[in-house]
Structure formats: C-alpha cells, structure tokens
Amino acid sequence: MSRADQAEREAVLRPPSIDRMAGWPSLQPLIDRAGRGLVIEALRAWAAAKRGSADVADPVACRRWCEAKLAPLVQPSQRPVFNLTGTVLHTNLGRALLAEEAIQAAVDAMRSPTTLEYDLANGRRGERDHHVAPWLTRLTGAEAATAVNNNAAAVLLVLSALAAGKEVIVSRGELIEIGGAFRIPDIMTRAGCRLVEVGTTNRTHLSDYANAIGPETAAIMKVHPSNYAVTGFAKSVPASELVPLARAKGLPVIEDLGSGTLVDLETWGLPHEPTAREAIAAGIDLVTFSGDKLLGGPQAGLIVGRRALVERIARNPMKRAMRLDKIRLAALEATLRLYADPARLAERLPTVRALARPPFEIRALAERLLPAVGKALGSRASVTIEPVRGQIGSGALPVDLLPSFALAIYADKLDRLAQSFRQLPIPVIGRISDDVLYFDLRTLDDEPGFVDQLERLDVVAD
Ligand SMILES: *Cc1c(COP(=O)(O)O)cnc(C)c1O
C-alpha cells in the first residue's frame, strides 16, 4: 500500500471527533437522560474500543453500545420489585411497606423544614423523640420511650448504657443469631458487657438465673427466639417469674422482642406473637423492637420502659450516633397514629393487610392471573395453581406458616425462567423449591401492574 493510500485508509477509519459524535441526533435522547458528561465518557470508550473498525462511525451501533454501557448509571440501583417469595417481611427486599399516610408524611418532611427539634409554643429547641414517644407510651403502657436507627442499635445502646463493664445474664436457649451478623454474644462484647450464660439450650430454670446473680450483675436479659423454636423437653422462664427475682435484687430486666407487635395478631386469625404491651405489663423494665417488622413502619429501633432508664439511655452519647432523621420519624409517627384505630389497620397498613388476606381471596387472584401467565409462558413452561405455605419473615412466628396460594411454574430450565422474570421492568421475585418456581400471591397488590408487563417476558438466552 502506498503511503498516500495508507493515509487515506487511516482517515476513513479514524473515529469522528468525540464532539461530532455527541452531536449525532441518535444520541440526543441518551444525553437527555444520562447527561452530556457521561455520554462523552462512553463515547471515548467507544472510540477506543472500535479503533480501526468500520463500525466506529456507525451512529446506531454507537448508540446501542453507549446505552448498554451507561445502563447501570442511568437506572437506579435500588429498584421496586414484586415480592412473591411468600415471605411477607423479607429483609433482603426491604421488609414492611409503608401505609399511604406514612408515605405522605415522609414526603412532606422531605420537602420542607420541619419542627424536628423545635418547640413552636415557646420558639425554642425541642426534642426529636417527642414526635413518637407519646404514641409509643400510649400503645405499650410504658412510662417513657425513645427511638433509634434499628433494633440492633437499640439493643446495643440499652446494653451499653445500662451494663457497660458489667455482667448481663442471658439464658443459653436465647443466645440468638439472626441474619446480617446480629448475634447476642457479639453485641454484648461490643457493648462492653460480659455475657453470663445460664441454663442449657433447651431448659433454663429460675434458679439458674438466681445462682448467677452476683455483685457484677447489671441486668437480666430476655431475647425473643425470632427464627427458631426449641420444642420438646424445653423450658424457659417467663417474665412473670423473672421480674420478681430481679426486683428483689434491684436489677432491671430487659427484653429484645425482635419483631414485637403493638396489636394482637389473633385479631386476624394468626397465632399469638408477644406484644410490647404484654412485656411492659409483665414488669419488663426496658423492651426493644423493630419499626419495620410487624409494626409496619420505617426502619427504626424502639425502646420503651421505665422513665429513669429511658432517660439514662437518651443521655448516652451513643444515642446521638444512632438517631433517626426527620423523614423516618415522620413516617414512624404517621404509622403509629394508625394504631389509634385498630379496626382499620388491616385496610390501611400493608403489612397487616397482607397477613390478614384470606386464602380464598388469594386463590381467586391466582385464578384471574393464570390465563395471562400461561399465555406469556407459551410452550416454554406450564403453570398451575397450588396451595403453599408462606411465612411472616423477619423473625415473627418462625414456625407458624401462612396458608396461601401460588402460581406454580414447571419448566426444564427453571433458573433461566426465574431470571427472565427478574429482568422484567418491575422484576418479579419468586421462590424455587423442588424444581418448581412459586409465585406466592399473598403479597401481590398491584395486579394490573403485574399483568401489564407479562408480554415483555423474554426467556433469557444461554
Ligand atoms: C430482627 C431482630 C433484631 C434486629 O432488628 P433490626 O431492626 O433488624 O436491627 C434483633 N433482635 C431480634 C430478636 C430480632 O428478631
């Protein structure tokens, strides 16, 4: 090739300037969405990747390439999904869904300055806790209350404020580990307390506690066994026995209720789950529980109990590091307010609504959806309606299962089919068990939204 030919060939293959490419009409929608800076970055990468190829000047290929490259940046990382796993409070999928009242309160708090720590009556500084404490005391019968980031923080704070450098007695049957590295022995260490284990895995007696109390004891702790049950030859000591013993020794009893609930779930035909009010009535001095489990609110850790102890906790510097922001406090306050009218909870609070949903209604929903899902699957898979058992999740009633109905999908390449459901605009998350993909419909609220996207189901290629 002559030198002149060579030069001409290079001129043809040299990419157009980045600025010129950025002016291509086919790229304008992407620039609108992602911003010019990111598109320029992608174009530089494109020019480098396609150097010497005839493709480099192809606007359509370039647009597709840049769109794929920028997709992770243009799309939010945290996306709404359909939780059809059968676990109502799914920790990995964000636990409780908020009531419309709580969503509105959070949005209002986001948009404007608020009285977060401001007392309108006298124009002075106010208390953050005052937005929720009156509701928490009213709903649990406790003298005082405070709220922090989550229940793990609440437990850490209570232990640290009451028992740092001292001993805390816990039954061996209650030394729980829950997901996400929350283990009672580790939390104790981090709080600066020494764990004194009493009893055995299956049986702990009042005398075990009594014998362990010594000059270094700062508290007795009870923990709700959230994700397991010890059955058979088992015994634990109820608060009604533990409290008199602790009183006689001048020690506080603290209880980590885990999920904790403010209402009796039996109202909706569910088995009994301990309520915070029962723990307080039994004489527990401090009770901690989560805001985003059965309570149905935003992530939070709630501490209720004796005034003097709650005040001690509120003064602890760690509390400042665990405090709630105005958005979550607004959502929490609005959620708690709904409990003033328990009769309407099942209609207003999505968590209670899902738990209270009767199986016949879920079955009817399955029957309505069956044709559309069958059509979307075509010859790739078959689908039927099957009775299944879901669960509450997040450590409430670990053994009791919720009778429900699911769409059960049978296919050769089940993993791939599950993946294609996860690639829908609103990903659909089910549960695979024994080579069947189950979509438990207890938690499906947006029926039209689910159906509308089915036609976009594409089975993922190899
Ligand atoms: C869920 C749970 C926790 C942790 O609560 P978070 O709100 O997730 O921090 C602690 N203890 C028990 C017994 C639990 O069930």
Residues in the chain: 462
Fold of the domain built from segment(s) 100-344: Aspartate Aminotransferase; domain 2 (3.40.640)
Determine whether the shortest distance from the Cβ of 226 to ligand 1 is under 6 A: yes
Strands 167-171 and 177-178: unpaired
Q: Give residues with Cβ within 8 angstroms of 67, minimum separation 6.
A: 30
Ligand 1 pocket check: which of 290, 295, 392 to mutate, most ligand atoms within 8 Å of Cβ? 290
Ligand 1 pocket check: which of 148, 256, 259, 303 to mutate, most ligand atoms within 8 Å of Cβ? 256
Structure-token pair, residue 460: 């993922």
The answer to whether the CB of 123 falls within 8 A of the CB of 320 is: no
What does the alpha-carbon distance between residue 254 and residue 245 come to, in Å, rounded to a whole number? Answer: 13
Residue type, 19: D
H-helix segments, 219-302:
239-248, 276-281
Which part of the chain has CATH 3.90.1150.180?
Answer: 82-91+356-461
Number of H helices, E strands in the chain: 20, 17
Mean pLDDT of residues grouped by 10 in the chain (462 residues)? 63 76 93 94 94 88 94 91 96 96 98 97 95 98 98 97 97 86 90 95 93 98 85 88 97 94 88 92 97 97 98 95 97 97 94 94 98 94 96 71 95 94 96 96 97 84 45
CA of 259 to the centre of ligand 1 (A): 7
Which part of the chain has CATH 3.40.640.10?
Answer: 100-344
Residue type, 172: R
Return the sign of the alpha-carbon dihedral for residues 267, 270, 276, 279.
Answer: positive
Determine whether the shortest distance from the Cβ of 259 to ligand 1 is under 6 A: yes
Per-residue pLDDT of 268-314, as tens digits, reads: 888 888 899 999 999 999 999 999 999 999 999 999 999 999 999 99
Per-residue pLDDT of 246-258, as tens digits, reads: 999 999 999 999 9
What single string gives the DSSP state of each residue in 42-76? HHHHHHHHTTTSGGGG-HHHHHHHHHHHHHHHHS-
Structure-token pair, residue 204: 């702990």
Fold of the domain built from segment(s) 82-91+356-461: Aspartate Aminotransferase, domain 1 (3.90.1150)
Determine whether the shortest distance from the Cβ of 150 to ligand 1 is under 6 A: yes
Determine the pLDDT at residue 396: 63
What single string gives the DSSP state of each residue in 76-112? -SS---EE-SSBSS-GGGTSPPPPHHHHHHHHHHHHS
Q: 3-class DSSP state for residue 187?
A: helix
